[in-house]
Structure 1
Amino acid sequence: MDTPALLVLFYIALFTCCLAGAEEDGIAIIKTGEVLVLDCFVEGPGGEQDHEVVWLLDGNQVSNASRLVLEDLDHTYHGSNITCYNGTALVQSRIIHFHHEDVLEAGETLRLNCTTYPTTASDVTWHHSNKMVTSDWVITDLDNGTSQLMIPNVMLDDSGVYSCMSPQGATIKVFNVSIGLFPQAPEVDCFGCNTVDFTCEWKDISDTHLPTDVTYEYKEYG
């Protein structure tokens, strides 16, 4: 009789994580698939919650609840203005920044395109959240009025937020770039007397510098 064989399969996937509705300096940051949640609490004369709250999106009323929840937002909302009013008093104002996500393996070439109309492509400046422009950045003005940033052979420290800006200092487009290493499946050792009582051991996978999900699957063949 053939002895049943044990097979342990490993599935490894890379993914990026983000926080919906992250805020910084009057900016509401969203990414693909996220839900934007903003709160606008106003105290009444006695310290109670004042419910005379109105949320406007580009001047159009979208809610009169203290908590604003917006779903299905995409890049077309980049630059839109969200304001909360209590009566005629402005309580808070946010500008939506849509972050385009790019995940690359170290050693690949990064290309980011920024359509600049009515600003000419040559007037656009590129910025990185963690470092200044370096000599390996190649900035090209494409025929369709687009400024392209190319970085060959990206490294781990090229991760971060990239933005292209107009001469007036306005942000035109924002990119969230994550650079990682391709995960390697760990070596697995399994031992036991039968297919029911056995033990498997393995070492942690090497650091990919990205959130990495590892799934283990056991199959019995007889």
Structure 2
Amino acid sequence: MPSRDNIVTFHDIPTPVGEQPYVPGAGPSPVVTVVDPDPDWPLQYAELAARVRDALGWRVLELQHIGSTSVPGLAAKPIIDMDLVVADADDEAAYVPALEAAGFELRVREPWWFGHRVLRHTDPACGLHVFGPDAPEPIKHRIFRDWLRGNPGERDLYARAKRAAAAASTSAGEHSMQYNARKEQVVREICRRAFTAAGLLDGSS
């Protein structure tokens, strides 16, 4: 279980010298498209979650729909983001082959950032983020999601930030990681308010 400090800290861990997060042949998406909310997104998550659970069985310690497609009424990139917690994210042999057989493809390997891996599924489009039990990110993602679900003003603030970032990145010919950087300040401001409401921060941080 991650500590309180780990949950509320934004861990900007640089890529180690000589390493790179993308597996050979992979890279950030060159297309940044934010669309109106789609009522089918929860159904797509349910389909993808069933595939993951069928593939891994009891090795799924936690599986959550996270990201903008998990918030009703929120504009988003049309990609279902999911957090998967397994016993050891660095033990790829324990879960990657089974997920590949279910139609997922390993795209990102970041053992220096809480063991993070990302697998992609194309239909429905999905980014499956894999972490170990001690990673704070799944908890952080869940708090952010639930805060947006319960606070329409924050949801709308985030939607405006997303659309502005997407327009700026598209105009500049940037990729998805640069889009993420453009909206990062707003994400962190919203997270701090959510952490405070949850009692993880005292409001003066």
TM over 0.5: no
Which has more radius of gyration? Answer: 1
More helix by share: 2
TM-score computed with the length of structure 1 as normaliser: 0.24
